[in-house]
Structure 1
Amino acid sequence: MTAPRILYHHRTAAEDGQAVHIRAMLRAFAAVGADVREVGLVRRDTEQPEPTPSNADEKGGWSLVGSAPRFVRELMEHGYSGLARRRLLAAARDFDPHFIYERYAFGNVGGVAAARRCGRPLFLEVNSPLVDELERTRGLSFEGLARRSERHVLENADRICAVTGVLRDLLVDLGAPRERVIVTPNGVHPDQYAAPGDAGARARAREDLGLGGPADDSDEVVLGFVGYYRTWHRLDLAIAALAAPELAHARLVLVGDGPARAELEASASAHGVTDRVHFAGPRRHAAIPAVLPAFDVALVPAINAYASPLKLHEYMAAGLPTIAPDQPNLREVLVHEREALLVAPGDADAFAAALVRLAGDGDLRRRLGDEARRQIDVQGLTWEANARRVLDEARTIGALEERRPLDTRSNAVRNSA
């Protein structure tokens, strides 16, 4: 049987979690036997934590967009649809894909246009309700155009891959046909994570983070967070809790950086815990699995209502118990007292009580952590499982059936599968 051929399309700079997701899915599609051609619309740094496939098409510049005035930026984002369509059609003519897999980007209707033109299905990966998100975080100069473009893409994609069930419901409200939306949560590559209790991995992680020796003979408990610090991440909850007498033996380790660092340092000083809050600095994503064994408890103090937090699945793969907010998108993965302790969002007292409970109960930490690691396999929270979900759906709609070669010069009619 011919290997599934996937044209993978994105418009993403390779410097953040979006690029991690892209590389992970490219690797996963290849691992499950697909032949993948990447079409990117931006230039990416050649020094990548994980190298991109050698068959990636040449990418165009995007370096001026971030510094442009808002209305100019939006026009450029919408304007890239034409370039997207041309590049996708050129790649499709050469590669003859079974389907196009596109990471949804604000203002981009090029994938829909190319899929319609060449008669191949479009799988659209959506990680957030982008128009709503951008209107809230940066404002929009052309909101009407943005909403029409988003609805057009959601209505015309053959399948939509939403990262949570909560997001699926939001997308349906925005115009996506419910029967076309599947849930593909963020995942991990499990083989990258050391088994819980690996003393060597723990010692190396502690040394990497500047925590000193293995501390296995002491009662020190390391509370850990990985990510970009913003105010809304509510790391202040962990710092305030650290002042409790019951947590005198605990240390908070923050791996990453971000605009909230100064206020977190001020909070640590105000609570008298500066000596027990360790800012370990950022790490390349490929290095994260190696530092997680230094943690005893992992933290997700706050997350938005529709996200599938990558850090959560990484914590689980490392066999770590997690404290997280009790909200619908996280309850899709977590069960209170099965692999995590869930607390009311923003409740400082509840968060502190959960920290005290886990810091004081090693048996509970081990039980929750072991189950967290097991749930990665049980729930299929891996990138390869996501790739299989997509291919299974492609088979369902007949996308993997052999077809005659494309002729993108003709008035090709989009397959109705």
Structure 2
Amino acid sequence: MRILYHHRTLGDGAEGIHIREIVLALRELGHEVEIFSPIGNRLPGFAPRPEPTGRRERLLARLKRMMPRFLFEVAEIGYNLYAFFALRKRIRNFRPDFIYDRYATYNAASILAGRRTGVPVVLEVNAPLAYERANEPDEILCFPSLAMRFERWICSHADLTIVVSSPLRDHLIRSGVHPRRLVVMANGVDPDRFSPDRSGAAVRLRYGLGKRIVIGFSGVLRPWHGLDTLLAAVGRIDPAEIDWHLLIVGDGPYRQELEAEIHRYAIEGRVTITGRVSHEAVPDHVATFDIAVSPRSTFYASPMKILEYMAMGRAIIAPATENIRDI
């Protein structure tokens, strides 16, 4: 089949990895996939939050950083006008069997172009972004009611809306989306890359972990991931009884607060924060974990870290929430 993949991102970080893996998986199945996005048709790479390299990417990244939030949201809405006509042109030239759209706040362009041209649209929803941006402490949403109306309309007018968890499906149903539009499909991982056969010996050597019991976390360091709870828990383990080490694989806006907590518990010698690690290098780090932890999760997520832990056969500690039970 011929698939037109549309996303409205800079293709960096975790979302870039997700986009890349979906496109590669579709191509591996024999489908012809063409990408349409603000950064062109390139396939995102594996680097963690790389500096934008293209002229267009640098401009978009600068605008995102400097533009007042309400103007940025107006630009998000305005993107629909540009993308609608650009998608119609791409549809005429590529003649896709369907459009695969990665949902973004206010982004109705694929639905509008698909309805105008008669091309079906499959929508992928990883989070209820209107709810998320209205409720997360590091997000600002200037027009929450409008964003929620857009979200309901977009999810209701795709030919098929794929959501990553049962709680996310239930949230959209409560917001007014008809259940028949929704299909639950959890995230996945590449079993060839995240294999239990991977060795963590080199990483253990690099960080001087020796034969310690390694408790591990992999992901972006954000307040809602529950790392404060993890530090409080490991801080109560007596090293005389269990020779442990906490390996935190990643970086993020919460790092400074996390380092202050580590100092408060006086466990500096037993905690390592690696900083940014490329996606290609993550499996070798996870391979060092004896116990892999995901302390907290948003109610609607399908956490990639837990799927990666599972694929590598780690012992896992995670919340007993419905979305985690899904996987």
* Pair in the same fold by TM > 0.5: yes
Supply the AA of the counterpart residue of 2:271. Answer: V
1:21 aligns with 2:13: no
Q: SS in structure 2 opposite 1:100? A: strand
Supply the AA of the counterpart residue of 1:176. Answer: V
What's the offset of the Cα at 1:147? Answer: 2.5
Task: Look up the match of 1:224.
Answer: 216
Q: SS in structure 2 opposite 1:294? A: coil
Give the TM-score, by structure 2 length. Answer: 0.90
Q: SS in structure 1 opposite 2:186? A: coil
Q: SS in structure 2 opposite 1:65? A: helix
- Taking a change above 3 Å as real, the CA distance of residues 124 and 222 of structure 1, as seen in their structure-2 partners, is same
- 1:8, 1:102 within 8 Å by CA — same for their partners in 2? yes
Deviations 1:259-302 (A, max 9, x none): 22222222222222110011111101122112211111111011
1:284 aligns with 2:282: no
1:256 aligns with 2:250: yes
What's the offset of the Cα at 1:187? Answer: 0.9
Deviations 1:226-264 (A, max 9, x none): 111122212122222223344541100111112222222
Deviations 1:280-337 (A, max 9, x none): 111011221122111111110111000001111111111111111111111112xxxx
Distance in 2 between residues matched to 1:263 and 1:148, nearest whole Å: 36
Q: SS in structure 2 opposite 1:77? A: helix
Task: Look up the match of 2:51.
Answer: none
Distance in 2 between residues matched to 1:133 and 1:236, nearest whole Å: 21
Distance in 2 between residues matched to 1:44 and 1:321, nearest whole Å: 39
- 1:239, 1:277 within 8 Å by CA — same for their partners in 2? no
Deviates more, 1:313-322 or 1:234-243: 234-243
Supply the AA of the counterpart residue of 1:211. Answer: Y
- Taking a change above 3 Å as real, the CA distance of residues 149 and 38 of structure 1, as seen in their structure-2 partners, is same
- Taking a change above 3 Å as real, the CA distance of residues 48 and 136 of structure 1, as seen in their structure-2 partners, is same
Identity, % of aligned positions: 38
- 1:49, 1:285 within 8 Å by CA — same for their partners in 2? yes
Task: Look up the match of 2:299.
Answer: 305
1:325 aligns with 2:319: yes
- 2:35, 2:41 within 8 Å by CA — same for their partners in 1? no
Task: Look up the match of 1:123.
Answer: 122
Give the TM-score, by structure 1 length. Answer: 0.71
Supply the AA of the counterpart residue of 1:114. Answer: A
- 1:13, 1:43 within 8 Å by CA — same for their partners in 2? no
- 2:11, 2:44 within 8 Å by CA — same for their partners in 1? no
Superposed CA RMSD: 2.1
Task: Look up the match of 1:39.
Answer: 36
Supply the AA of the counterpart residue of 1:203. Answer: A
Distance in 2 between residues matched to 1:116 and 1:94, nearest whole Å: 17
Q: SS in structure 1 opposite 2:76? A: helix
Task: Look up the match of 1:192.
Answer: 193
Deviations 1:77-118 (A, max 9, x none): 000001111121111111111111100111111111100111
- Taking a change above 3 Å as real, the CA distance of residues 221 and 182 of structure 1, as seen in their structure-2 partners, is same
